[in-house]
Amino acid sequence: MEKHLLDPARLRKIPPQFSWIDQRLVRERHIERLSHAAGALYLFLLTVADVRGLSFYSERSIGRYLAMTADRLDYARKELLRADLIAYRDPLYQVLSLDGLPLSSERGTGICSIKEIFKQMGGAA
Protein backbone atom coordinates (compact mmCIF):
# COMPACT_ATOMS: atom_id res chain seq x y z
CA MET A 1 0.00 0.00 0.00
CA GLU A 2 1.33 3.40 -0.94
CA LYS A 3 1.15 6.07 1.75
CA HIS A 4 -0.25 9.46 0.89
CA LEU A 5 -1.31 12.47 2.90
CA LEU A 6 -4.95 12.38 3.91
CA ASP A 7 -5.09 16.12 4.54
CA PRO A 8 -2.18 17.93 2.81
CA ALA A 9 -3.27 21.28 4.24
CA ARG A 10 -2.62 19.88 7.74
CA LEU A 11 0.88 18.45 7.11
CA ARG A 12 2.58 18.16 10.49
CA LYS A 13 5.75 20.19 11.04
CA ILE A 14 8.06 20.36 14.02
CA PRO A 15 6.83 23.49 15.81
CA PRO A 16 9.13 26.34 16.83
CA GLN A 17 8.92 25.28 20.49
CA PHE A 18 10.59 21.96 19.50
CA SER A 19 8.20 19.27 20.65
CA TRP A 20 8.56 15.84 19.04
CA ILE A 21 8.67 12.14 19.85
CA ASP A 22 11.47 9.82 18.76
CA GLN A 23 10.02 6.91 16.74
CA ARG A 24 12.52 4.54 18.36
CA LEU A 25 10.31 4.67 21.44
CA VAL A 26 7.95 2.33 19.57
CA ARG A 27 10.28 0.70 17.01
CA GLU A 28 12.75 -0.44 19.69
CA ARG A 29 9.86 -1.38 21.98
CA HIS A 30 10.79 0.85 24.93
CA ILE A 31 7.15 1.87 25.26
CA GLU A 32 6.16 -1.73 26.02
CA ARG A 33 7.94 -1.52 29.38
CA LEU A 34 5.81 1.39 30.59
CA SER A 35 2.52 1.51 32.44
CA HIS A 36 -0.14 3.88 31.15
CA ALA A 37 0.71 6.37 33.90
CA ALA A 38 4.42 6.33 33.04
CA GLY A 39 3.59 6.66 29.34
CA ALA A 40 1.34 9.64 30.05
CA LEU A 41 4.02 11.31 32.15
CA TYR A 42 6.64 10.66 29.46
CA LEU A 43 4.39 12.15 26.76
CA PHE A 44 3.73 15.18 28.96
CA LEU A 45 7.47 15.68 29.59
CA LEU A 46 8.26 15.33 25.88
CA THR A 47 5.60 17.89 25.09
CA VAL A 48 6.72 20.55 27.57
CA ALA A 49 10.49 20.01 27.32
CA ASP A 50 12.80 22.53 25.69
CA VAL A 51 15.32 21.65 22.98
CA ARG A 52 17.63 20.09 25.61
CA GLY A 53 14.83 17.96 27.05
CA LEU A 54 14.47 20.06 30.21
CA SER A 55 11.29 21.07 32.00
CA PHE A 56 10.43 22.15 35.51
CA TYR A 57 6.70 21.77 35.98
CA SER A 58 5.76 21.28 39.62
CA GLU A 59 4.40 17.97 40.86
CA ARG A 60 1.11 19.68 41.59
CA SER A 61 0.82 21.04 38.04
CA ILE A 62 1.74 17.74 36.43
CA GLY A 63 -0.72 15.90 38.66
CA ARG A 64 -3.44 18.35 37.70
CA TYR A 65 -2.71 18.11 33.95
CA LEU A 66 -2.59 14.31 34.03
CA ALA A 67 -5.30 13.78 36.67
CA MET A 68 -2.87 11.74 38.79
CA THR A 69 -2.55 11.52 42.52
CA ALA A 70 0.83 12.37 44.05
CA ASP A 71 1.48 8.68 44.75
CA ARG A 72 0.65 7.63 41.19
CA LEU A 73 2.84 10.40 39.77
CA ASP A 74 5.72 9.37 42.05
CA TYR A 75 5.39 5.75 40.89
CA ALA A 76 5.27 6.80 37.20
CA ARG A 77 8.38 8.99 37.65
CA LYS A 78 10.27 6.12 39.34
CA GLU A 79 9.25 3.84 36.48
CA LEU A 80 10.68 6.29 33.92
CA LEU A 81 13.87 6.62 35.95
CA ARG A 82 14.28 2.81 36.09
CA ALA A 83 13.68 2.63 32.33
CA ASP A 84 16.45 5.25 31.92
CA LEU A 85 14.14 7.50 29.91
CA ILE A 86 14.40 10.54 32.20
CA ALA A 87 16.68 12.12 34.78
CA TYR A 88 15.13 13.96 37.72
CA ARG A 89 16.35 16.28 40.43
CA ASP A 90 13.48 18.16 42.05
CA PRO A 91 12.11 20.29 40.43
CA LEU A 92 13.97 19.62 37.14
CA TYR A 93 13.19 16.84 34.67
CA GLN A 94 15.36 15.91 31.70
CA VAL A 95 14.06 13.65 28.94
CA LEU A 96 17.06 11.52 27.98
CA SER A 97 18.19 10.46 24.54
CA LEU A 98 17.26 6.95 23.46
CA ASP A 99 20.79 6.55 22.08
CA GLY A 100 22.62 3.87 24.02
CA LEU A 101 19.54 2.23 25.49
CA PRO A 102 19.40 -1.52 24.86
CA LEU A 103 16.63 -2.65 22.53
CA SER A 104 13.74 -4.17 24.44
CA SER A 105 12.92 -7.78 23.69
CA GLU A 106 9.52 -9.41 24.01
CA ARG A 107 10.43 -10.62 27.49
CA GLY A 108 11.87 -7.27 28.54
CA THR A 109 15.40 -8.64 28.94
CA GLY A 110 16.90 -6.21 26.44
CA ILE A 111 19.37 -6.92 23.67
CA CYS A 112 22.62 -5.05 23.08
CA SER A 113 25.22 -4.91 20.38
CA ILE A 114 28.72 -6.16 21.17
CA LYS A 115 29.84 -2.54 21.09
CA GLU A 116 27.25 -1.65 23.75
CA ILE A 117 28.27 -4.60 25.94
CA PHE A 118 31.92 -3.47 25.86
CA LYS A 119 30.83 0.10 26.52
CA GLN A 120 28.87 -1.04 29.59
CA MET A 121 31.88 -3.07 30.77
CA GLY A 122 34.09 0.00 30.45
CA GLY A 123 36.10 -1.39 27.54
CA ALA A 124 36.68 0.08 24.13
CA ALA A 125 34.84 -1.12 21.06
- pLDDT of residue 2 exceeding 90, the answer is no
CATH code for position 85: 1.10.10.10
100 within domain boundaries: yes
Q: In terms of residue numbers, what domain contains 110?
A: 22-121
Is 4 within the bounds of a domain? no
Q: What is the pTM of this model?
A: 0.72
Assign 3-state DSSP to the chain and report helix, strand, coil percentages, each to 5. Answer: 40, 10, 50
113 burial type by CB count under 10 A (0-12 exposed, 13-18 middle, 19+ buried): exposed
Cβ contact 63:73 at 8 Å = yes
Is 17 among the domain residues? no
pLDDT for position 104: 56
Given a cut of 50, is residue 120 above it in pLDDT? yes
SS (H, E, C) 101-113: CCECCCCCCCECC
Please indicate, yes or no, if residue 57 is contained in any of the structural domains: yes
Could you tell me if residue 81 is inside a domain? yes
67: left (phi over 0), alpha (psi -120 to 50) or beta: left
Residue-wise pLDDT tens digits, 89-109:
999 999 999 887 776 543 344
Q: Looking at 17-21, 67-71, 77-81, 83-87, which range is the least confident one?
A: 17-21
- Compute the half-sphere exposure of residue 47: CA atoms within 13 Å on the CB side of its CA: 10
At residue 55, the pLDDT reads 93
Q: How many domains does the chain have?
A: 1
Give a yes or no: residue 43 inside a domain. yes
**What contacts 70, CB < 8 A, 6 or more positions away?**
59, 63
Residue 37 lies in a domain: yes
Above 70 in pLDDT, residue 43? yes
- Sequence-ordered alpha helix ranges (H) in the chain: 24-27, 36-48, 59-66, 70-82, 114-121
Mean pLDDT, residues 50-55: 89
What's the confidence (pLDDT) of residue 4? Answer: 81
In a domain, 76, yes or no: yes
